[in-house]
Amino acid sequence: MAADVILRLFPDERVEWCSVEGSAGTQRGWPSEGSVVRWLLLPAEWVLRLQTPKVARSLQMLRQAIPFAVEDRLVAPVEQSHVALGEVLDPETIAVRVVDRECLRAALRRCEAKGLRVRAACSEAECLPVGEGPLIWIEQERVLLRPHKHSTVLVCSEEALPALWRAVITTPFQNVEVHCSARLSEPQRRVLDDLVGPDAWRCSESVADPCTRLVQNSHAAQTAALGDLLQQDFAVRPASGDVGQWWRRAAWASLAASVLATTNLFLEQHQLQALLADAQQQMTTVLREAAPGISQVVDPRTQLEAELNRLRRGAAGGDDALGLLAKVAPSLAGSTRFTLQAIEYRAGALEITLSSTDVATLDGVRENLMAASGMQVELTGVTPGKGVVEGRLRIRGGGR
């Protein structure tokens, strides 16, 4: 019966697997045809884990540059190796995994020949427990040695462990973790005591195999995801069912984007209308302040522009307020015989309120204005007071 499985390959071509549900434990042999291999675990000796500086910022440039950055640390030519990017260890350092292209391709072909679909692949070392000190994993006379947390895992036989340990461990440790798939024998314990020290190691005998650890341990699953080898040339193409699922997701995402864009459009339109209404109100206020005689405001921008043009024409010598005031100002300035009380412009005429000691002075001002400016000047009203006479002069453009 087809299922989702974790599949583990050994260097001697042995195979074992377990269901993702983890109910039946680990089984020898191949799973049934049509099963989906969620994780393909490769022998640790096939995969080299390295740390290298981040020589580029973008992912595309990193994939192009990293193989040549680690080239001098590889035994085989870099062209024969597949380099997969892993986790970022710090802002300047990234972890990478290197595997022989033909080994990886052969493993995938073996699975394909058995009717299995592989979704991800990593080293079995990614599933080992993570600690700060060295790790010794003993399983069926095969030993996996990880000198420290971020180093690559070395593989040897039990007989070769002492020589390998002395070659790679140069300083004594007090926190060596030993994991064994079975109970340690007395000879094995004596070897560890002589190698590490009686009090420098501790053993966990009831430990799950890598397949089961990947199913049961969420941290192991996260570590395996960071070490996925199926990148670039080996990237997995979605199955037909997955394609349909992705198309459905893409359709929903597109619909959500369309709704969001439409909503943003309506919001922007509402904001623009509010800004336009506010600007219209401000222009109306300015127009009424500048031209109190306007009774109805239809288009404040056009009306304000027309009023400004009219005032400009008046300032240039026309009959509007500024033009009339410019003509009469020289005759009104500097006199001590009268006092200027008010100036008002309405209906095309400039009305000036003056105060003096008698009416004759006001009439003399009228005559002077007519003679100096050539405009129509009328004395429209006189209001006598106590020792003061107040008169209003109306001035229009053009002579009599």
Answer yes or no: is 311 within a domain.
no
Of 190, 175, 183, the closest CA to residue 204 belongs to: 183
Decide: helix, strand or coil at residue 154.
Answer: strand
Query: Which pair of tokens denotes residue 179?
Result: 């994991």
The pLDDT score that the predictor gives to residue 110 is 94
- Together in a domain, 256 and 221: no
Decide: helix, strand or coil at residue 35.
Answer: coil
- Together in a domain, 213 and 228: yes
Answer yes or no: is 118 within a domain.
yes
Instruction: Provide the phi-psi class of 398: left if phi over 0, else alpha when psi is between -120 and 50, else beta.
Output: left
Per-residue buried b or exposed e for 81-104, using 16+ beta carbons within 10 Å of the residue's own CB: bbbbbbeeeeeeebbbbbbbeebb
Which 8-state DSSP code applies to residue 270?
A: H
Q: How far is CA 268 from CA 198, 261, 265, 278, in A?
A: 74, 10, 5, 15
Answer yes or no: is 302 within a domain.
no
* Least confident piece of the model among 159-173, 178-192, 193-207, 300-314: 300-314
Query: Residue 353 sits in which domain range?
Result: 317-396
- Together in a domain, 5 and 58: yes
Answer yes or no: is 179 within a domain.
yes
Length of the chain: 400
pLDDT band for position 24 (50/70/90)? low
The dihedrals phi and psi of 264, each to the nearest 5 degrees, come to -60, -35
- Which element (helix H / strand E) includes 147? none
- Together in a domain, 216 and 233: yes
- Together in a domain, 60 and 137: no
Mean of pLDDT over the chain? 83
Q: Please check the confidence at residue 304 and state whether its pLDDT lies above 80.
A: no
Number of folded domains in the chain? 4
User: Within a 10 A sphere around the Cβ of 11, how many other Cβ atoms?
Assistant: 12
pTM of structure: 0.57
Pairwise CA distance, residues 356 & 332, whole Å: 13
Q: Please check the confidence at residue 314 and state whether its pLDDT lies above 60.
A: no
Q: Please check the confidence at residue 316 and state whether its pLDDT lies above 60.
A: no
Answer yes or no: is 275 within a domain.
yes
- Together in a domain, 86 and 226: yes
- Together in a domain, 112 and 143: no
Answer yes or no: is 182 within a domain.
yes
If 0-12 CB within 10 Å is exposed, 13-18 middle and 19+ buried, where does residue 41 land? buried
- Together in a domain, 36 and 92: yes
CB 69 within 8 A of CB 52: yes
The pLDDT tens digits of the residues spanning 221-257 come to 676 677 889 988 888 876 555 556 667 778 888 888 8
The pLDDT score that the predictor gives to residue 243 is 56
The pLDDT score that the predictor gives to residue 339 is 86
Helices within 30-160 (DSSP H only): 59-69, 101-113
Q: Between 256 and 220, whose confidence is greater?
A: 256
- Together in a domain, 288 and 333: no
